[in-house]
Chains A and B, each alone.
Chain A
Amino acid sequence: MRLEMGTFPVRDIVFGRTTRYDAGRLTVDRDAVLAAVRQDPRIASAELEIAKPGESVRIWPVRDVIEPRVKVEGPGVCYPGICGREIATVGEGRTHRLSGMGVVEVSSVNWHDAGGDFVETFLDMSGHYGEMYPYQKLVNLCLVVEPDATLNEEVKNYAAHKAALTVSDQLGEAVRSLTPPEREVFELAPVDPSLPRVVYIWCVHSPQAMSGSPTAFCTATYGLTQLTPPWYLHPNEILDGALTGPYRTAFAMSWTVANNPLFLDLYRRHGRDWNFLGVISLRTEWTTQTEKQLMANQTAKLAKQLGAQGAVVTWDAGGNEFIEVVRSIQACERLGIKTVFLTSEDDATDGAPTMLEPLPEADAIVSTSFFKNVTLAVPEAPAVSRVIGLPTKIVRRGSTIGLHGGVDGGTLPTTGPLPPPWRYDDHYGFSSLSCAE
Chain B
Amino acid sequence: MGIPVGMISAIYNFALTTGANRVIRGARIEHVCGDPTLSPEKDYAFGMRIVTTALQTLTIAVPGPTLFDPMAPGKT
Q: Is B30 a contact of A289 with CB atoms below 8 Å?
A: no
The docked-state distance in angstroms from the alpha carbon of A210 to that of B28 is 12
Q: Which of A189-241 contact B (CB under 8 A)?
A: 209-210, 212
The docked-state distance in angstroms from the alpha carbon of A289 to that of B69 is 13
A356 to chain B: which residues have CB within 8 Å?
A: 14
Contact string against B for A residues 317-333, beta-carbon threshold 8 Å, 1 for contact and 0 otherwise: 00010010000000000
Q: Output the nearest chain B residue to A114 by Cβ-Cβ distance.
A: B30
Contact of B30 among A210, A293, A323, A357 (CB under 8 A): A210
Q: Is A287 a contact of B14 with CB atoms below 8 Å?
A: no
Q: Is B45 an interface residue (CB 8 A)?
A: no
Q: Is A209 a contact of B11 with CB atoms below 8 Å?
A: no
The docked-state distance in angstroms from the alpha carbon of A293 to that of B12 is 12
Q: Which of B1-49 contact A (CB under 8 A)?
A: 10-14, 17, 27-30
The docked-state distance in angstroms from the alpha carbon of A289 to that of B11 is 5
Q: Output the nearest chain A residue to B9 by Cβ-Cβ distance.
A: A289
Contact string against B for A residues 299-334, beta-carbon threshold 8 Å, 1 for contact and 0 otherwise: 000000000000000000000100100000000000
Q: Is A288 an interface residue (CB 8 A)?
A: yes
Q: Output the nearest chain B residue to A319 by Cβ-Cβ distance.
A: B29
The docked-state distance in angstroms from the alpha carbon of A292 to that of B12 is 11
Number of A-B contacts (CB under 8 A): 28
Q: Is A289 a contact of B28 with CB atoms below 8 Å?
A: no
Q: Is A323 a contact of B29 with CB atoms below 8 Å?
A: no
The docked-state distance in angstroms from the alpha carbon of A356 to that of B10 is 15
The docked-state distance in angstroms from the alpha carbon of A210 to that of B27 is 15
Count contacts on B: residues with CB < 8 A to the other chain.
Answer: 10
Contact of A287 among B12, B13, B30 (CB under 8 A): B30
Q: Output the nearest chain A residue to B10 by Cβ-Cβ distance.
A: A288
The docked-state distance in angstroms from the alpha carbon of A323 to that of B9 is 14
The docked-state distance in angstroms from the alpha carbon of A210 to that of B30 is 7
Q: Is A292 a contact of B11 with CB atoms below 8 Å?
A: yes
The docked-state distance in angstroms from the alpha carbon of A114 to that of B11 is 22
Q: Determine the interface band of chain A, counting residues with CB < 8 A from chain B.
A: 10 to 19
Q: Is A287 a contact of B10 with CB atoms below 8 Å?
A: yes
Q: Shortest Cβ distance from A210 into chain B, in angstroms?
A: 7
Q: Which of A278-306 contact B (CB under 8 A)?
A: 287-289, 292-293
Q: Shortest Cβ distance from A113 into chain B, in angstroms?
A: 15
A289 to chain B: which residues have CB within 8 Å?
A: 10-14
Q: Is B17 a contact of A357 with CB atoms below 8 Å?
A: yes
Q: Shortest Cβ distance from A85 into chain B, in angstroms?
A: 30
A323-B14, A357-B14, A357-B17 given; A288·B29 CB < 8 A: yes
6 closest A-B pairs by CB: A287-B29, A287-B28, A289-B11, A209-B30, A288-B10, A289-B13
Residue contacts A-B, CB under 8 angstroms, 8 given? A287-B28, A288-B27, A289-B11, A289-B13, A293-B13, A323-B11, A357-B14, A357-B17
Contact string against B for A residues 139-176, beta-carbon threshold 8 Å, 1 for contact and 0 otherwise: 00000000000000000000000000000000000000
B28 to chain A: which residues have CB within 8 Å?
A: 209, 287-288
The docked-state distance in angstroms from the alpha carbon of A287 to that of B13 is 13
Q: Output the nearest chain B residue to A322 by Cβ-Cβ distance.
A: B14
The docked-state distance in angstroms from the alpha carbon of A212 to that of B36 is 11
The docked-state distance in angstroms from the alpha carbon of A356 to that of B11 is 12
The docked-state distance in angstroms from the alpha carbon of A289 to that of B32 is 12
The docked-state distance in angstroms from the alpha carbon of A107 to that of B17 is 42
The docked-state distance in angstroms from the alpha carbon of A288 to that of B25 is 10
Contacts A209-B30, A210-B30 known; 18 new A-B pairs at CB < 8 A: A209-B28, A212-B30, A287-B10, A287-B28, A287-B29, A287-B30, A288-B10, A288-B28, A289-B12, A289-B13, A292-B11, A293-B13, A320-B11, A320-B29, A323-B11, A323-B14, A357-B14, A357-B17
Q: Which of A350-364 contact B (CB under 8 A)?
A: 356-357
B12 to chain A: which residues have CB within 8 Å?
A: 289
A292 to chain B: which residues have CB within 8 Å?
A: 11
The docked-state distance in angstroms from the alpha carbon of A339 to that of B11 is 24
The docked-state distance in angstroms from the alpha carbon of A323 to that of B28 is 14
